[in-house]
Amino acid sequence: MMAANVLNYLFYVLVTRTVGVEAYGTFASLVAVVLVLSAPALIPQMVVAKLATAAVDDADALAGLVAAVDRVTVAVSLAAGLAIVVAAVPIAAFLHVADPLLVVLSGIALVGAMALPFLRGVLQGTSRFGAFALSNVAENLGKASFAPALGLLAGVRGALGGMAIGYALTAAFTFWTVQTHRRPRRVAISLAGVPTTTAAVALAVFALNVLLLYDVILAKRYLDPYTAGLYGAAALAGRALYAAIVFVPTVLLPQAATRAARHERTRGLFVQAFGTAALIAVAAVAFFGTFPAFVMTVFASRKFAGGAPLLLPYVVAVGMLSLANVTATYNIARSRLRFVIPLSLVALGEIVAVVVRHRSATDLLQTIVIGHTLALLACATSLGASARARGRSLELATSPAAPPT
């Protein structure tokens, strides 16, 4: 998974070196559209993983689950991609993208991006972690190979087309790896009741992922093309901090959930996890704030050094969101979900504030620093919540906001 994360950032870094600053602003905004729209698929991944774990000892039941997943995957991914293709012209107008074909290519990429989490849920739930990890590595290796190579030949069109090819090949590979669980004889299974049992967790996952990604889209909408390109590069560097911290909630959740199930104390785990994440965030803020031009050059190129003033406030905002993710994960592990509504309201309010106040990149950054800080406070509202009213315990042991790739 570390290799997958490195390849993911290599994908962005290489593209920044094959297109100009303004072109990268367009590319980053359309990639963000794909990631935001595919983020809800992380919820079915959790659900499928849980159901596959329960059915792993019954080949016929597992085959029935896989058949249901196949149907849902095809329907949802094709519908999502088609919706983007149909709406290509208005989306291009909203983002000030002169070429609607770029949006069409993003819609094609979305098909693969939506399909992968569903299929990976089967691999995760059946403990096929080798294939699971290889799918993640293949996705980012494909994007890091095809996008910059085609970007050299055809600019942003080539970069987006290369990304779409990377998603498509990985989806085909992942579909093939699940083939061993498909059977002529299978037990029919219904997924109709699943959404109602995971709605609160789904809302939390979606809110955190939207907060991580939406601003690049609105930056392309409201800022001039050159500034939007610099902003996209600063966002790339800032999200590296999020990726560096995400191992903390990944480890925290199963540990806290297991101890909670045994009626053992978990507060010490949270303090350790939160403290570790805070130390990483503070170190990153200090380093990025001291050497902003160097960081921008490493993550993008010298062409993007002008975005150095944007880096410090952006990494502060991402640090706050990373701590919010740790706190949300702990609350989910303890089935304390009172924070979900406040977090969702904060996410909505932050987006509205950006829409209202967007005269400059500084205005936008001030808003997300405040909003991400409020997101952390919203997640903290469930700390210490009484366990008497939390109802049926959630058993989905996965991080609520793993960084989309």
**What are the pLDDT digits (tens) for 171-187?**
999 999 988 777 665 56
Classify residue 17: in a domain, yes or no. Answer: yes
**What are the pLDDT digits (tens) for 34-85?**
998 998 887 777 778 777 877 777 788 888 888 888 888 999 999 999 999 9
Classify residue 395: in a domain, yes or no. Answer: no
How far is the C-alpha of 15 from the C-alpha of 19, rounded, in Å? Answer: 6
Joined tokens for residue 17 = 């070196």
Residue 339 half-sphere exposure toward CB, CA atoms < 13 A? 32
| Pair 19, 92: CB distance under 8 Å | no
251 shares its domain with 219: yes
104 shares its domain with 160: yes
Can you state the percent helix, strand and coil of the chain, rounding each to 5? 80, 0, 20
303 shares its domain with 221: yes
- For residue 293, which amino acid is it? A
- Check residue 184 and give its pLDDT: 64
224 shares its domain with 283: yes
236 shares its domain with 364: yes
Last residue of a domain, one of 194, 220, 255: 194
Classify residue 403: in a domain, yes or no. Answer: no
Q: For the CA atoms of 306, 307, 310, 316, what is the dihedral angle to 10 degrees?
A: -130
DSSP assignment string, 325-346: HHHHHHHHHTT--TTHHHHHHH
Classify residue 400: in a domain, yes or no. Answer: no
Quote the number of domains for the chain: 2
Q: Go through 180-201 and write b for each residue having 16 or more CB atoms within 10 A of its CB, e for each that does not.
A: ebeeeebeebeeeeeeeebebb
Classify residue 398: in a domain, yes or no. Answer: no
Grouping H, G, I as helix, E, B as strand and the rest as coil, residue 256 is: helix
57 shares its domain with 186: yes
- pTM > 0.85: yes or no: no
Classify residue 298: in a domain, yes or no. Answer: yes
- Domain ranges, residue 180: 2-194
How far is the C-alpha of 370 from the C-alpha of 314, rounded, in Å? Answer: 11
> For the chain, what is the total number of helices (H) and then of strands (E)?
16, 0
Q: What is the pLDDT along the chain (405 residues), one digit of tens a residue?
A: 778 888 888 898 899 889 888 899 999 999 999 998 998 887 777 778 777 877 777 788 888 888 888 888 999 999 999 999 999 999 999 999 999 999 999 999 999 999 999 898 888 778 788 888 899 999 999 999 999 999 999 999 999 999 999 999 999 999 999 887 776 655 666 555 555 556 787 788 889 989 998 999 999 999 999 999 999 999 988 888 888 888 788 777 767 766 777 788 888 889 999 999 999 999 999 999 999 999 999 888 888 989 999 999 999 999 999 999 999 988 887 888 899 999 999 999 999 999 998 889 999 999 999 999 999 999 999 887 554 444 444 444 444 455 555
Classify residue 399: in a domain, yes or no. Answer: no
| Pair 299, 353: CB distance under 8 Å | no
- Check residue 200 and give its pLDDT: 81
Classify residue 269: in a domain, yes or no. Answer: yes
